[in-house]
Structure formats: structure tokens, C-alpha cells
Structure 1
Amino acid sequence: MKAIYGILLFVSLNLTAQEGTRNLGMIKVHDQGNLGFHGNLVNDGIFNDNQGLVGFYSEQSIIVSGLFPTIFNDSEFITEQGIQLAISMEVQNNANFVQGDIRTPKTDSFTSLQFLSESFYTGTTDIAKVDGYASIQNKQQFTFPVGDIQQLRPLVLLSESENPVAHCAYFFSNPDEFPSLNSLNRENTLQQISRHEFWRLEGSVPSTIQISWNQRSQMPNMADTIDEITVVGWNKINHQWENLGAGAVGTLSDGVAVSTLFVPDAYEAITFGTLDMLETIPDLANYLLTPNGDGINDFLHIDELALSNDNWVRIFDRNGMLVFEKYNYTNQFRGYANKGDVVLNRNNGLPQGVYFYMVVMEDLGLEYQGYLYLAR
């Protein structure tokens, strides 16, 4: 089995009372090769041409630092105390989260766990995620696996085209604690701004996003119904919170909010707000879908789309993940996903359950939302 090749100079060193490795030469992990680190890594050499698996395994915290970023094909993280990145780490294929957060400075979006164009990740949970900045390169859609020390709080990005680069981090903090953000400066249609959490998202491509709330969001203190909940963003030029929402679904305890199209770089922070009931999106009917070939409810049919020649239909699962999207929809949804970074058992169709759909009729200036129940 081929493992590691190159001009190597490993130096054993002691960093913060823990054994580590310093690379001063060139390392390459070949296809089918494996390399594991059980202590700190200082990369002052070339470590960017890898095909195999590089893993981090430790009961203590691991620090990755050095002069140059590392680029791994497949990576695996099993660290009880997590990994602290002082330089960026790039992923070409799969990043497998098992245990321990990857932490980055929340004051520096350029030091991050970076996902390249063909990469993806698996295994993220409340105990395995990015506590800090995650980034993408040359991706059009992505779910950023971000959160804080306690919870995974992902943000789903859906862009008009590929993002050359985009960065995202989650903050379990009151936006008012930051001098540049003031909840009192907001559009007239907005009633309240969340004082519990926010996300920072950087990107130059017009995009929509999805963010979810849960019990820590304390939504019942802000809203009486989910119809009042919306996505808001702090406009860097106008110096105010603005309504970016296109709808929300769920309960006051748990739910998902979706935005309209906006340019992330124009906004310093994104969170939840509440608005006047007059601003809510009208509902369409709720549907039952039973794609069993009997000719009854085999596909999603929305009568109102006959009025529009320029429309979008998007369908989300209960976690807010986009699973289906179609421009100028004509009854194509039959219970199968056509979106998602990783769709397991795609040919078997989506699992039974409740889904949320959104309809945008661009030519009529109308937006609608509703539920469907997929039965198997």
C-alpha cells in the first residue's frame, strides 16, 4: 500500500505542553495512503498534494499552525477537545466530522476550514462542527456546518452562480454587543431584532439563504405567530436592519426562515426579526403526495402556476435543506430530490414526512408558501 512520499523533514516539538510535528519539507499522501496526527501540526513546508486520508486523533486539543495552509483530499476529525486552526485548512473531497469542533478565530474570516469546488462533509453534530469560519471556493450552493461550542447552527446558501469564495460564521451573542450593530436602527416594517444570535456571511454573488431557529433563539419572546418571523440583515451602507425574508415555516419552538435574493457582502450580519402581519407571505393550499403510480396525487400540482410564465418552485425538508428546485415548474416533483450536496439513496426517493414549499412568480411579483405531506 502506498502511503507517504516526498522530501520529508519532521521535527518533534513541544507546543503548549503537547507533543507535535513540524513539517519543513514536502509531504504527499498517495491514493489509499493514510496519515494520522495525534498532536499539534506546524506546516512550514509543502503539504498540499494529497490523495489519501489525513486524520486528527487526540484526547487533547490540537493546534494547526505554520507558514502555509494544508490541503487534504480526505480528512477525519476525532478529537475530544477539538482542533484550533491558526492557518486555514482546505478540503478537496470529504471532511468526516466524528468528534470535536474545528475552531477558528471569529475576528478573521480568512482563517477557516475551506471547502473546495468538489468537496463535501459528513457527520456534523452538536459535538462536531466548525466553531468559527467555514469557507467555500467555486460552489453555487452549500450548507455551512457552523455553530458555537454547544450547538450546530448551519446556514444554507443558494447562489445565482458559483461563488469564487464565501465565508460564514455563527455567533451566539446579542448583536447589540457589537458597536456597528444597533437593534434600534431598523426599517419601519420591522418590530424586533433578535438579541440572542446572528450569522456573518461574506460573498459577492446574489444569493438566498435559510437559517433555522430553536429553543435557544427564544422566538416566543419576539413573535406571537411564525408569520411574523423574517430574515433580517444589517446593511453596511444604510446602517440599519432590513427585511430580507421570503417566508418561514415551523413552530415558535423550531422552524426555518428563507430569504429573498440579496448580496451577502452588502450586509454585516444576518439574524431573525419580526414584522407587521401585513408583510407576511400569503399561503397556498397544503398538499398530499402519494407517488405510487396509481394516478392519484402522484405529483405536486399547483393550479396557480398556470397564471405565470416566469416562476420558481423550491421544496425544503423540515430541517430547512433544499431538496428540489425547478424553474417554470410543470408537475415535475414526484418525491425525488434534485438538489443537495449529498443525497443518500437518491433513487429511492425522499423519505416520508412533512415538507415545505415556496412558489415565486417573478412576472406577477407574487410569492407563496405551503406544506406538503409525502406518503410512501
Structure 2
Amino acid sequence: MKTYLNILILLCSATVAAQTALYNKGNLRIHEGGMLGFHTNLVNDSPFDTNLGLAGFYGTQALTVSGTLTPQFYDMEIAVDNDLQLAVGIDNSNNTNFILGSIRTPLAQPGVYYNFLENSFYNGEGDLTKIEGYAAITGQQNFIFPVGDRTYIRPLILNSERMNLFAKSAYFLENPSNPNSLSGAFDTFEVALDVAYVSDVEFWRLEGSLPSTVTLSWNERSDMARFTDDASKIVIVGWSKLSRRWLNLAGSVPIGSLTDGFVSSETFVPDEYEIITLGVSKIPYEPLSREVLSLDNYFVSVNGDGVNDSFFIQELEQYDRNVVQIYDRYGIKVFEKENYTDEFVGFSNQNNIPFGSEKGLPIGVYFYTISIPEENLNYQGFLYLAR
């Protein structure tokens, strides 16, 4: 009885404002099997995190959760015609049931998010019932973030190598080159060598420290037909924090048509990228506007055994002048030489490898381009560097 009295007092004290609110400054708690329905705003300024039972938000008007402390609810139910707006986050430890309306967080405030704790899940998600803003997970390995904008749900599927201590995602219906909700700018024309186009329609922000793959989808609004006439070239691309350009994160073969489909990425670390979105791969790779012919792919093993110790192309001996450039998988130039013969032995000559340059470039796949000005020819290919 004492608990109900406290709630009544708090509600009455808030009626002096334009809109009523339940102001928690005491010791509210929902016991197992209990139910607490919020038909008004919640202002939470005291611990509210040992709850079981059901907390539901209901009404025809928009409701807001604010305050200085994040409440934690066991089961959550959302049935709000005009959405539940979060000015402070909410932690959910079991189930979130979307019935009517979405949960909204400010896209310009990534510190406010709806957090699915270990083993928590949701149901009822859809175009009209989702998270518009930031959703997060704590203690989960694989998860489908039910994020989107006012019109569509645009989920991001995350599959990590192991359990994430924390990961967070949001969807933006904004041009990456000039986003409204983020302070940075991510020029869609600043691309790696194997990226042809980057979407200027939408993007996702994903934070996470573990090697992971993601799956994204596109719909008619994504307008992929404006970027390509071949759906098989649609890939996931990410804005690299290191190289400050869009990199190709292609992993799987796309499934679908130009109007709708989905595609998965290769394994990458989300925290190495500012944002990710959909793009079009450059297949075959064409670094220059002039004719590009293909040479073989090469294996370079710089171990001193006298076999494949350098990058050697016999055909270059036929020409008086050439320019050879080598790029890493991030599109960063690591080597350039005019009148090349066999000088590349696994080390950069570009002074842009800040750490460990004395040990040589890391093993892996690299792009090479060859320009022969006298014949107006350009070649490209791959080489694999081993040690």
C-alpha cells in the first residue's frame, strides 16, 4: 500500500507541468509476476534496476522516458500510438514486445540507446514497430538490430566471432557525404580501387570491437538501380577510419534484385569504420579510364630461398618506360616505382606505414597497377605476399 501511495504523490506533484509524469525519486520495484503500466511520461532519477514482471507503456499520445539514471526492465511492452521517445536509455533483460509504435532515440546522441542485455530478445518488430535510433546489445554474440527510420525497418544482422561485451547500431536515412545527425562527412566519391559507387541514400552506424560479419538489405527506396544495372555487384562498403575512404567489405554473393535483396560482408572489426552502407564493386577492377588489360596474379615469397623473392614481370623488359604502383587491401599506396624491374621485395617506399615498417609489409593480398605510357596501356592484377 505504501508503494501505491508514493506513486500517487509523485504523479500529483508533476501535474503542475504541461504534461503529467511519474517522477521516480524513491524505491520503485516490479516484483516477479507484477505489472506496471505507464500511461504518462517517466522521469527516472533513482535506481530502478531490480525489476521482474512486466513494464508496459501505453497511450495515444507520445510518451517520454527521461531522467538521470537508466531504468532496467525485465519484460517490456510498447503500445504507444505516437512512439516512446527516450531521453535516457533503457536496459531490457528479457523480452521486448512491440505492439504499437516505435522506440525512438536521438540520432545525434549516440549515448542514448535501448540496450538488450544478455539473453534478451524482442518480437512484433516491423515497419511501424521498431527502434528509430540506437539499439545496443550487452553480452550477446549474434543479433539482429531492429533499427529503421519513420517509414521502414532496416535491420542490421551482426554475427561476431565471440560474445560482444557491447555493440551498438543505428540506421540513418541520410546522405553520408553530408549527414544531418553526425558531425563528420564521408565523401561517397572517395573510394578504394575496387569500389565503383557508394550509396548517397542511407547508411548504418555500427560500433563493436570484435571481428564480425554483417548482413544488410536494400529496398526500392534504396534506389540501387541508380548505381548499377547488375544486382550481383552490390556489396557492403565501410568508411575506414585509417584510410579515410570507402573500402569494399564484400563477403557473400548478393541475393535478390535491384529493388530488394540482401548481402553479407566479409569479417571485419566494426570499430575500424565510421559507418557502413551499400555500394557497387568494381568488377573487373579498373583503376584508370584508359584500357585496362589483365596480367597474371603473382606470388611473392620474400624468404631468401631464391624462389619468387621479388615481384618480377618479364613482359616489362619489352618497353622503355613503365610505372608500377602497389596498393594494400585498404586502397593505400604502399609502393611506386618508375622504370620498374624487380625492386619490390615486400617493403613500402611511401613513408605511410607508421608502425613496423622496418619489418616489411604484412602478408596478404595486394593490388598492383602497371602503366606503359608509350603504348597507352594499363595493366592490373593481384599479388600475394608471403614470408
Q: Shared fold (TM-score greater than 0.5)?
A: yes
Give 1:284's aligned residue: none
The whole-number CA distance in structure 1 between the counterparts of 2:177 and 2:42 is: 37
1:220 aligns with 2:219: no
Q: Is the 8 A contact 1:4 1:30 kept in 2?
A: no
Give 1:151's aligned residue: 152
Q: Is the 8 A contact 1:231 1:259 kept in 2?
A: yes
Letter in 2 for 1:190: V
- Between Structure 1 and Structure 2, the one with more strand by share is 1
Q: Is the 8 A contact 1:74 1:92 kept in 2?
A: yes
Q: Once the two structures are superposed, what CA deviation does each residue of 1:171-196 show, in whole Å capped at 9, x if it has no partner?
A: 00111113430011110111110010
Q: Give runs of aligned pairs for residues 172-187 of structure 1, distance below 5 A.
A: 172-178=173-179, 179-187=184-192
Letter in 2 for 1:221: R
1:271 aligns with 2:244: no
Shift of 1:14: 4.2
Q: Choose from 175, 195, 199 the match for 2:200.
A: 195
The whole-number CA distance in structure 2 between the counterparts of 1:54 and 1:187 is: 48
The whole-number CA distance in structure 2 between the counterparts of 1:218 and 1:15 is: 49
Give 2:115's aligned residue: 114
> Which 5+ residue runs of structure 1 have no aligned equivalent?
280-364, 366-376
Q: Once the two structures are superposed, what CA deviation does each residue of 1:96-147 show, in whole Å capped at 9, x if it has no partner?
A: 0111111111122221000000100000111111100000001000000100
Letter in 2 for 1:37: F
Give 1:34's aligned residue: 35
SS where residue 11 of structure 1 aligns? helix
The whole-number CA distance in structure 1 between the counterparts of 2:2 and 2:117 is: 23
Shift of 1:16: 7.0
Q: Is the 8 A contact 1:227 1:277 kept in 2?
A: no
Give 1:321's aligned residue: none
Shift of 1:151: 0.8
TM-score when normalising by structure 1: 0.71
Among all aligned residue pairs of Structure 1 and Structure 2, give the percentage whose two residues are the same amino acid: 41
1:244 aligns with 2:249: yes
Kindly name which structure, 1 or 2, has the bigger radius of gyration based on alpha carbons.
2
The whole-number CA distance in structure 1 between the counterparts of 2:187 and 2:36 is: 48
SS where residue 195 of structure 1 aligns? coil
SS where residue 92 of structure 1 aligns? strand
Q: Choose from 257, 262, 279 the match for 1:256.
A: 262
The whole-number CA distance in structure 1 between the counterparts of 2:156 and 2:2 is: 36
Letter in 2 for 1:55: G
The whole-number CA distance in structure 2 between the counterparts of 1:120 and 1:212 is: 21
The whole-number CA distance in structure 1 between the counterparts of 2:83 and 2:92 is: 17
SS where residue 169 of structure 1 aligns? strand
The whole-number CA distance in structure 2 between the counterparts of 1:258 and 1:252 is: 16
The whole-number CA distance in structure 2 between the counterparts of 1:136 and 1:147 is: 16
The whole-number CA distance in structure 2 between the counterparts of 1:194 and 1:214 is: 13
Shift of 1:276: 2.1
Q: Is the 8 A contact 2:194 2:283 kept in 1?
A: no
Give 1:162's aligned residue: 163
Q: Once the two structures are superposed, what CA deviation does each residue of 1:41-73 show, in whole Å capped at 9, x if it has no partner?
A: 001112111110000001001010111101000
Give 1:305's aligned residue: none
Give 2:140's aligned residue: 139
Letter in 1 for 2:272: A
* Matched residue count: 278
Give 2:300's aligned residue: none
The whole-number CA distance in structure 1 between the counterparts of 2:164 and 2:71 is: 21
Q: Give runs of aligned pairs for residues 1-376 of structure 1, distance below 5 A.
A: 8=6, 11-12=10-11, 13-14=14-15, 17-178=18-179, 179-247=184-252, 248-278=254-284
TM-score when normalising by structure 2: 0.69
The whole-number CA distance in structure 2 between the counterparts of 1:240 and 1:231 is: 14
| RMSD, aligned CA | 1.9
Shift of 1:227: 1.3
Letter in 2 for 1:119: S
> Which 5+ residue runs of structure 2 have no aligned equivalent?
286-364, 366-387
Q: Is the 8 A contact 1:212 1:255 kept in 2?
A: yes
Shift of 1:8: 4.6
Runs of 4+ in structure 1 over 4 Å off: 3-10
Q: 1:267 to 1:15 in 2, by over 3 A?
A: farther
Q: Is the 8 A contact 1:8 1:26 kept in 2?
A: no
The whole-number CA distance in structure 1 between the counterparts of 2:279 and 2:194 is: 10
Q: 1:37 to 1:15 in 2, by over 3 A?
A: farther
The whole-number CA distance in structure 1 between the counterparts of 2:2 and 2:248 is: 52
Q: Once the two structures are superposed, what CA deviation does each residue of 1:190-214 show, in whole Å capped at 9, x if it has no partner?
A: 1110010000000101100000000
Q: Once the two structures are superposed, what CA deviation does each residue of 1:302-325 show, in whole Å capped at 9, x if it has no partner?
A: xxxxxxxxxxxxxxxxxxxxxxxx
Q: Is the 8 A contact 2:160 2:211 kept in 1?
A: yes
